[in-house]
């Protein structure tokens, strides 16, 4: 919940000037709902893709204040579902997140599906148990060809907005575990599912994190609010 329409457009203008060349890196931005239309126009002649931060799984109905996947279809390429803030602050359960992911896929978009453990779960040695449960429940009913379109973002909740990023080795181990868990459900398709790391990714740690074999990208939070910082992360991905 940062940046209104004018601030979002200003950020995109700055970002465009700094990441004009693609060179094998896919870049997407996920502005607030009210800025999506303007940002979509601003990105029309670029390779930068557009995403939304959330959606409701029902097409329409008495859900005042919500935006459905059906409404987003044709406007965005990606929709973030299951973000740690949605899980913690809005008490969203894996069963509900699963419905969101399936709705996003049904309308031709790709979900960025977030999974991750709390600090208490991490300290209790429950990380892999939590991740296995989330993968099983969040992917329920999603077939192999659909699963290949899902982007999984591992975001340890204890690292969100705290400045405490997981070490590159820890991030790699967790993302590798997620891929192995996906392999139990989808076989070789797990090798093409993109797995990102999210959790205080910044210009200083991006290259080390993105250099890990099972980390295919980053879900960037606070560092995406400044064009210079985000552009530096994109540059790290290119390397």
* Annotation marks residue 83 as catalytic: yes
What is the distance between the terminal CA atoms of the chain, rounded to a whole angstrom? 31
Point out the catalytic residue in the list 117, 146, 155, 181. Answer: 155
Nearest to 51 by CA among 67, 63, 235: 67
Which is catalytic among the residues 83, 117, 146, 181?
A: 83
Q: Is 56 a catalytic residue?
A: no
Token pair, residue 158, equals 């204890």
Give the DSSP H/E element, type plus range, for residue 220: none
Q: Are strands 110-115 and 78-81 parallel, antiparallel or unpaired?
A: parallel
Q: Which of 172, 87, 163, 74 is nearest to 121 (CA)?
A: 87
Q: At what angle do helices 5-18 and 227-238 cross, to 10 degrees?
A: 40
Q: Measure Cα distances from 131 to 64, 79, 119, 155 in Å.
A: 32, 20, 13, 11
Tell me the catalytic residues.
83, 155
């Amino acid at each position: 919940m940062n940046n209104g329409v004018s601030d979002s457009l200003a950020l995109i203008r700055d970002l465009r000037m700094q990441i004009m060349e693609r060179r094998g890196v896919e870049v997407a931005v996920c502005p607030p709902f009210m800025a999506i239309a303007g940002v979509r126009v601003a990105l029309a002649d670029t390779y930068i893709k557009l995403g939304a931060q959330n959606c409701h799984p029902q097409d329409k109905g008495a859900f005042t204040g919500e935006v459905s996947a059906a409404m987003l279809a044709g406007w965005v390429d990606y929709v973030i579902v299951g973000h740690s803030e949605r899980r913690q602050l809005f008490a969203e359960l894996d069963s509900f997140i699963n419905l969101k992911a399936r709705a996003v896929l049904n309308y031709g978009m790709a979900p960025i599906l977030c999974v991750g453990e709390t600090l208490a779960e991490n300290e209790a040695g429950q990380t892999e148990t939590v991740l296995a449960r989330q993968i099983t429940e969040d992917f329920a009913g999603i077939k192999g060809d659909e699963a290949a379109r899902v982007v999984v973002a591992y975001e340890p909740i204890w690292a969100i907005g705290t400045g405490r990023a997981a070490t590159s080795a820890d991030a790699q181990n967790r993302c590798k575990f997620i891929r192995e868990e996906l392999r139990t459900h989808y076989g070789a398709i797990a090798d093409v599912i993109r797995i990102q790391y999210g959790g205080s990714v910044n210009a200083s740690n991006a290259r080390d994190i993105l250099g890990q074999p099972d980390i295919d990208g980053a879900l960037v939070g606070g560092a995406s609010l400044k064009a210079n910082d985000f552009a530096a992360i994109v540059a790290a991905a290119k390397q």
